Structure 1
Amino acid sequence: MRFATRVLLLQLLTVVAVVTTSTVVFIGLSIEQLRDEAETSALMIARTIGSDPQVRELVAEETQDAENPAAEVLAQGEIQHYAEAAADSTSALFVVITDNNGMRLAHPDEDLLGLQVSTSFAEALAGKEVVAWEKGTLGESARAKVPVFAPDSETPVGEISVGFERNGVFDDLPRTLLFIVAAALLALLIGIIAMFVLRKRWEQLTLGVQPEELVVMVQNQAAVLDGVGDGVIALDTEGTIRLSNGSAKQIFGLHSAEGRSLTDLGLPDDVVADLQAGVARDGIVANGRVLFLEARSVDRGGQSLGAVIVIRDRTDVMALSERLETVRTMTSALRVQRHEFANRMHVAAGLIESGRDGEAAQFLRAMRSRGPVDYPLIGTELISEPFLQAFLGAKSLEASERGVSMQIREETLVLGKVAEVEDIATVLGNLVDNAITAAVANPEMRLVEVTLMDDATELVMVVADSGPGITPGEDPFAHKTHVEETEQGEEVVPAEQIRGRGIGLTLSQEMAQRRGGEVWVIERGGEPSGRGAVFGARLPGVMEQDPSFNYREVREEEGK
């Protein structure tokens, strides 16, 4: 049996139980209400008769009479006539009047006149009013008993007993029960209709999936969402985020993404439009991270349920690529150094073998002063730090191949040693690569200038180029795209495919900010200055100092 059917039967049993219970309660309340109304009517009639001055006077006279009148005399008396008239006018079963001994002075059955009543009269003669259901000579009835006080006195001299027949009390009960049963059947019908409507709505909302299947789906969802490193965001048909895993929240730096839209995540409008159209986007920068976004529509049984956005964080991959590029650059530099060093060793060995020791010694001293290799880097002697010298030397070789000269400015002063090779290589490499690309665009002067200064564990870098500068209004740290003309028309090329542009600056800025540093534009260049752009970078914690070396004295000497 399907779960929806079981729920329907359970709801049906619940509705039947509720309606039945309500019907029984209403019937009980109706019966109790009729009983209360009969008792109240009997009490009011008894009070009215008992307060009549004539009745009080007549009962007081009968009570004072030492002899009990015969039934025939009482039957023709005023009290009997009064009681019969009251019973007829109120439709009561009986109106009985007694003296202080409980002897009947008025009764519907004249044969019982002068006899003591069959039910207790003690409480009424004690001055109390009594309402109860009792069975007497006329059968069971709802009756009220009130005392009859003597004229101008609070002394009971008799009692008034008024009763209504049981069958008469419940004359209206069938009609009341009919209304109650009709209301119960109507409520039951409404409940059944509501159950079928609820079942249909249930199946629409759950797409016909049963609870057992929902449990499996939740387990699979938890396993998939929490078991993958990619970010996953589920959108409804309105484009609102309904579900996101921990990776997605971490990527966008959110505590909770549910209820937001894609634009709230810091994504550009064009990216949101592409994702809504099902177009994947790569190299998107959001929250300081480089992302690949892919949208996939979701439907079930022909009904669209929204879309799922898969997010891959490529920041670490791009950083690793930059580091691999650094390794490649350093490997190339080492290969050049090894080749040049081998050549010089051959020269020195040849001079020694030929007996020209003096020339060999002079050659080795010159090689020691110049270094193992001649880089096309102007001002190489200003940098004594081995890594920075080799790295910038390798970059100068690449720049030379593109017709660009690299120069170390005289303001450069690095006294410490590099402690974090990868971060320096990534940031400095990106700045130099961008500067070389910009300098190539200037056919008159192709020059890149680098200034390096350290302060304790902090390294400050300034890179200037002779290019056309930064276009006014352009954000150099924003993600860029490039439009190329193709046979099919214009095609947008991702920025990461364009050498020297794209996400390099953004990646460098994000890496510097992680360390508490920054990358910024010192001068935008361009018209009317006619100079190129100048970028600065500050990286804390990337250098280490020799504790035995007095850097203050050296810097003071340099300042002089």
Structure 2
Amino acid sequence: MIVLCLLVLLQSALLGGFALRHLADSLEDQMAQRALQLASMIAQTPSIREAVAANDSEATQRVASELRDATDASFISIGNAQGIRLAHPLPDRIGKPMVGGDNDEVLKQGHTIISQAVGSMGPSIRGKAPVFNDVGEVVGVVSIGYLTQEIDDTVLTYQRVVFAVTLLLLVLSVLAASWIARRFRAAIFDLEPHQIAALFEERNATLESIREGIIAINAEGKITTCNRAAIETLGLEQRDVVNHPIREVVPDSRLPDLLESGEPEFDTEMVIGGRSLIINRIPIRVKGKLTGVVASFRIRDELTMVSRQLTRIRQYAETLRSQAHEYANKLHTIAGLIQLDKSDEALELIGQETRDHQAMLRWLVDSVDDPVVSGCLLGKFNRAHELGLQLVIDPDSHLGPLPANITPERLVTLIGNLIDNALDATLSAKGRSVFLSMTDIGQDLIFEVEDQGPGISEEDMPRVFDRGFSRKAEGRGIGLHLVKEGVSQLGGEIVVENLSAGGARFTLYLPRESVG
């Protein structure tokens, strides 16, 4: 309201000031032209010419008085060739020199002029014309003037009108601003602009943090809200779908149907884009009027994904059980050899089984200080052995005490996921080995994991760390995403590249000192 009032006041002041200034200039110009015309006309009057040529003050004063009564001029002053007054509104000034200092150009050069000067009657705008005799000689001057006080009085009259109109506009603007403010605040639920901005940011953050997809449309069927989860769940190629018709973006959403029925739907199962979804649809009403529809949905297959993960865990348990049986069989074999007094053969069998593990254990004791990391590497070594693969660790690798900002658990997550991914890739390509090297020399901890898999295509390279991206099977694509997130939290970097001999190399850089 204050802003509107100040705006009206400023506009009125600027326009009023310009109008009054233009009016004053126009009045001055008009009066100057009128004074000049009257002076030229009176200077050509025969009676004035004769009286001035004869230097007859009485006749000149009488004719000038008659002309002054017939015109609206403030004064008519007539002087002779020497600038001595022959006629003047104040009789006591007759016979005295004309004042103002603007008669020389008229008397000496015979020009008509317009001047503004302070005369015996005060500041005035004057028009001056020469009086010629019958032979064309300048014998006098006629000065017609309008007092500037009259112009000021006229401008003051208009100024009062401008002030009155401005005051009226100000009162009307206050009333209009008050009415607009009440209507506007009622429309925005009595919220201030900064509160609306805060709610808008909070609403965007909330939508992006929700794992369920959210889509809202207005009464025209155009999308007004769509969060990232909705775009990813529906597999929309176009990321910016706001203001697009819902029928074009998601033809089988059935959201426009609720604009007609107005009935909410909860936990409805639908197949959209080839995916089975559980959808909730709720109409949006403002003051009882249906203004849109909002839908939230989630993938029904999430339960299936959890089930598959449990299945893989069960398969892993079965693998461990079969391994236990295998070791039990070998133990029985060793026991039988001992009973048969075949101790050499028993020792040879034991040596074959323990040689690699012993070498691995000795290297871990000498090269890796943290026991949690050592346990992880030993577990991955055994896992590779179960899969028929080899986890080859660079014998020159070394990992001393971990920095304070890197916990063993977090490092185990990063290394474990990289090795698991390399084992899966190598196994799928029927490779034989996965290579690991690590060093803590310098300002960073550096880990390199190489596989003998099929490598990563140029098309997939930008998406290799995206959550859910995988070329192996549905429900995969989590490990590398977790690695990327963990590295970002530690302020590190991960680089992936294809090897010339086949496979891929993942290089992990973790700074010793915490970043930020």
Q: TM-score, normalised by structure 1?
A: 0.49
Please show how residues 66-85 of structure 1 align to structure 2 within 5 Å: 69=55, 73-76=56-59, 79-85=60-66
Q: Deviations over 1:221-247 (max 9, x none)?
A: 132122223322233344432222233
Deviations along 1:152-188, whole A, 9 cap, x unmatched? 75x6543221012445445645653453234223322
1:89 and 2:75 aligned:
no
Equivalent residue for 2:210? 228
The size of the alignment, in residue pairs, is 346
Equivalent of residue 145 in structure 1, options 119, 128, 143: 128
Larger relative contact order (Cα-Cα within 8 Å, sequence gap ≥ 6): 1
CA contact (8 A) 1:56 1:151 kept: no
Whether 1:179 aligns to 2:161 is: yes
Residues in 1 aligned to 2:151 and 2:121: alpha-carbon distance in whole angstroms: 15
Distance 1:317 1:182, change over 3 A: same
Task: Tell me the equivalent position of 2:492.
Answer: none
Q: Give matches, 1:203-218, under 5 Å.
A: 203-218=185-200
Identify the residue that residue 83 of structure 2 maps to in structure 1.
102
Following the alignment from structure 2 to structure 1, what is the Cα–Cα distance between the partners of residues 302 and 253?
A: 25
The match for 2:5 is: 12
Task: State the secondary structure of the residue aligned to 1:277.
Answer: coil
CA distance in 1, matches of 2:130, 2:304: 106
The yes-or-no answer on 1:118 pairing with 2:99 is: yes
Q: What aligned pairs does 1:158-173 form with structure 2 within 5 A after superposition?
A: 158-169=140-151, 172-173=154-155
- 8 A Cα contact 1:285 1:291, kept in partner: yes
**1:32: Cα distance to partner?**
4.0
- SS of the equivalent of 1:46 reads helix
Distance 1:245 1:124, change over 3 A: farther
Distance (Å, rounded) in 2 between the aligned partners of 1:325 and 1:421: 20
SS at 1:242 equivalent? strand
CA separation of 1:240 and 1:233: change in aligned 2, threshold 3 A? same
Distance 2:309 2:427 in 1: 9
Cα-Cα RMSD: 5.1
1:58 aligns with 2:42: no
Structure 2 residue runs of 5 or longer lacking an equivalent are 324-423, 429-453, 455-470, 475-501, 503-516
Per the alignment, residue 267 of structure 1 pairs with: 251
1:126-145 pair list within 5 angstroms = 126-127=108-109, 128-145=111-128
Identity of aligned residues (%): 21
Is the 8 Å Cα contact of residues 231 and 245 (structure 1) preserved in structure 2? yes
CA separation of 1:299 and 1:103: change in aligned 2, threshold 3 A: same
- CA–CA separation in structure 2 for the residues paired with 1:21 and 1:202: 29
SS in 2 for 1:105: strand
Deviations 1:257-277 (A, max 9, x none): 222232222232646425853
Aligned partners of 1:274 and 1:280 also within 8 Å = no
What is residue 183 of structure 2 aligned with on the other side? 201
Cα separation, partners in 2 of 1:245 and 1:149, compared to 1, 3 Å: farther
What is the distance in 1 between the residues matched to 2:134 and 2:311? 125
Q: What's the secondary structure of 1:162's corresponding residue?
A: strand
Q: Does 1:258 align with 2:258?
A: no
Larger radius of gyration: 1
C-alpha deviation, 1:74, in angstroms: 1.8
1:129–1:145 CA contact under 8 A, matched in 2 = yes
**Which residue of 2 is the match for residue 5 of structure 1?**
none
The answer to whether structure 1 residue 49 and structure 2 residue 42 are counterparts is: yes
Within a 5 Å distance, the mapping from 1:431-450 to structure 2 comes to none
Please tell me the residue identity of whatever aligns with 2:228. Answer: G
- Counterparts of 1:156 and 1:312, CA distance in 2: 107
| 2: CA distance, partners of 1:287 / 1:420 | 33
Q: Distance in 1 between matches of 2:195 and 2:273?
A: 38
Aligned residue for 1:202, secondary structure, equals helix
Q: Distance in 2 between matches of 1:248 and 1:269?
A: 12
Residue 15 of structure 1 deviates from its aligned partner by: 3.3
Does the 8 Å CA contact 1:226/1:246 hold for their aligned counterparts?
yes
CA distance in 2, matches of 1:303, 1:270: 20
Do the aligned residues in 1 keep the contact of 2:9 with 2:166 (CA within 8 Å)?
no
SS of 2:265's equivalent? coil
Distance (whole Å) between structure 2 residues aligned to residue 420 and residue 149 of structure 1: 122
- Give matches, 1:369-380, under 5 Å: none
- Is the Cα–Cα contact under 8 Å of residues 230 and 310 in structure 1 kept in the other structure? yes
Q: Distance in 2 between matches of 1:301 and 1:56?
A: 88
Q: Which moved more, 1:179-188 or 1:279-288?
A: 279-288
Distance in structure 1 (CA, Å) of the matches to 2:42 and 2:187: 71
Whether the aligned pair in 2 keeps the contact of 1:34 and 1:170 (CA below 8 Å) is no
Aligned equivalents of 2:28, 2:117: Cα separation in 1: 13
Aligned AA (1:15): V
Alignment of 1:115-514 (within 5 A): 115-120=96-101, 121-127=103-109, 128-148=111-131, 156-169=138-151, 172-173=154-155, 175-251=157-233, 252-268=236-252, 270=254, 272-273=256-257, 277-280=263-266, 282-287=268-273, 289-298=275-284, 306-314=292-300
The residue type paired with residue 193 of structure 1 is: L
Q: TM-score, normalised by structure 2?
A: 0.52
Paired residues of 2:217 and 2:246 also in contact (CA < 8 A): no
Alignment partner, residue 497 of structure 2: none
Distance 1:53 1:306 in 2: 88
For the structure 1 residues 101 and 306, does the alpha-carbon distance in structure 2 shift closer, same or farther, using more than 3 Å as the test?
same
Q: 1:14-64 CA distances to partner (integer Å, 9 max, x unpaired)?
A: 4345435544554444444433333332122223334x26378537834xx
Whole-angstrom CA distance in 2 between matches of 1:230 and 1:126: 99
Q: Which residue number corresponds to residue 514 of structure 2?
A: none
- Residues 258 and 269 from structure 1, CA distance in 2 versus in 1: closer, same or farther, beyond 3 angstroms? closer
SS of corresponding position for 2:251: coil
Cα distance, 1:149–1:292 mapped onto 2, change above 3 Å: farther
Tell me if structure 2 keeps the 8 A contact 1:53–1:151.
no
